[in-house]
Amino acid sequence: MSTETQKYTRNNPYESKMLVNYVLTDRDSEKETRHIELALEEGMAYTPGDAVGIQPTNRDSEVEAVLKALNFKGDEKVLDFFKKEDTLDNALRTKLHIGKLTRGSVNSYAKIAPESVPGLDFLKSLAGQDNKSRAEEYVWGREFLDLITEHPGGITDPQQLFTVLQRLTPRMYSIASSQAKHPDAVHTTVRVVRYHTHSRDRQGLCSGHLGERADEGSTMPIFLHANANFRLPEDTETPVIMVGPGTGVAPFRSFLQHRQAHGQKGNNWLFFGEQRSASDFLYKQEFEGMLKDGTLTRLDTAFSRDQTKKIYVQDRMRESRQELWAWLERGAYFYVCGDASRMAKDVEQTLLDTIADGKDCSPEHAQEYLNDLKKQKRYQLDVY
């Protein structure tokens, strides 16, 4: 990244214009995945593998509901986290995390609440490490509005909100473009999270913002974030293997655009997975075009709901394990992006099995081989 990029940071973001915001998935999809393009100021630079930080705002309806529940008007003066004066309304909109409830917020609320608050003894009983599981069970699926509705009267001074609530922080998204192709913009791929718990419809904070409150032409604060641990090989002829199901494909779109724009000769193999080919094949035309022009050497897809037996990216890897091993032996770099809880673990296990088969060795020796790949930075993860 250039020194100019550092001009804009988490605490001093760039007010970017939304250039493009549309749904990638088909109307029949069970998911809503969006393609986002944001304008950059001249001099702002990023590298494939980096992330863009997007600062969301809370929904107007949620801000109004919190104000009503607390019996405040919104014009009250408060000092924010940096001791700058602001109105309560703006602080709730742009600075305070009123979404997903945390154990810390419950504990802080219980400490400052008057004894008259209903259920205060219950809230106090959730404090401490010994009660962590009970506290996590309570906060799951709840937001701050649920807390002050179920246990009203705990906030008597607007300034107390800065003790109870956390700072509204930006969300990080993998960059899905190359500046070699899009010099004045940064792209990302976002799945909008929507769900229903405790009798209310809810949504992800930033993804919900991008899904309903970020029209083309609007502005939002962003900054670029370097990720030195997720980089294309310096040797442009080195082959790369990329595993990116769902929105995990975003950085690999960036990788491929970069290699395509620079005419790099290294072979590229992409594994992509989603639910259904007809409705969930993100960037289908672009990737198929790259396959035709030779940018992509191989494109292996796994659509879990297109057949009776669910098929995932690790299954496609298993089917091609001999070729995968041959690529690794030719010095290929191996990248994984996406879900850390299951997918990344399953992919790593399949990779270990591939190594064990290829080397005809024990699981322990396969692990040693994988450890060597990590040391050589030939096995890189961007999982969340």
Q: What is the pLDDT of residues 84-97, one digit of tens each?
A: 999 999 999 999 99
Residue 3 has pLDDT above 50, yes or no: no
Nearest to 270 by CA among 227, 299, 228: 299
Structural domains in the chain plus CATH codes: 5-55+170-225 (2.40.30.10), 60-164 (1.20.990.10), 240-383 (3.40.50.80)
Label residue 30 by pLDDT band (50, 70, 90). Answer: very high
Q: What is the pLDDT of residue 308?
A: 87
User: Where are the strands (E) in the chain, listed by range?
Assistant: 14-23, 33-39, 51-54, 77-79, 85-87, 171-174, 185-191, 194-197, 200-203, 219-225, 240-243, 268-274, 298-303, 333-338, 379-383
Pull the structure tokens for residue 116. Answer: 């008259």
Pull the structure tokens for residue 39. Answer: 């304008």
Entry pTM:
0.91
* Digit-coded pLDDT (tens) for 270-298: 999 999 999 999 999 999 999 999 999 99
Pull the structure tokens for residue 223. Answer: 């900054």
Do 244 and 252 touch, CB atoms closer than 8 A? yes
Q: What is the pLDDT of residue 2?
A: 46
How does DSSP assign 301-347, residue by residue? EEETTSSSS---HHHHHHHTHHHHHHHHHTT-EEEEEE-TTTHHHHH
Nearest to 298 by CA among 319, 279, 280, 278: 319
Do 239 and 327 touch, CB atoms closer than 8 A? yes
Pull the structure tokens for residue 280. Answer: 């969930």
Q: What is the pLDDT of residue 5?
A: 44
- Taking residues 122-147, report their average pLDDT: 95
Mean pLDDT, the chain, integer: 95
* Digit-coded pLDDT (tens) for 204-243: 778 888 988 889 999 999 999 999 999 999 999 999 999 9
Pull the structure tokens for residue 369. Answer: 């081989």
In this prediction, what percent of the chain has a pLDDT beyond 70? 96
Q: How far apart are the first and last CA of the chain?
A: 23
Exposure letters 152-180 (e unless 16+ CB within 10 A, then b): bebbeebebbbebbbebebbbbbbbbbbe
* Digit-coded pLDDT (tens) for 297-323: 999 999 998 888 999 999 999 999 999
- Taking residues 2-20, report their average pLDDT: 83
Q: What is the pLDDT of residue 199?
A: 66
In this prediction, what percent of the chain has a pLDDT beyond 90? 88
Do 194 and 208 touch, CB atoms closer than 8 A? yes
Q: What is the pLDDT of residue 211?
A: 86
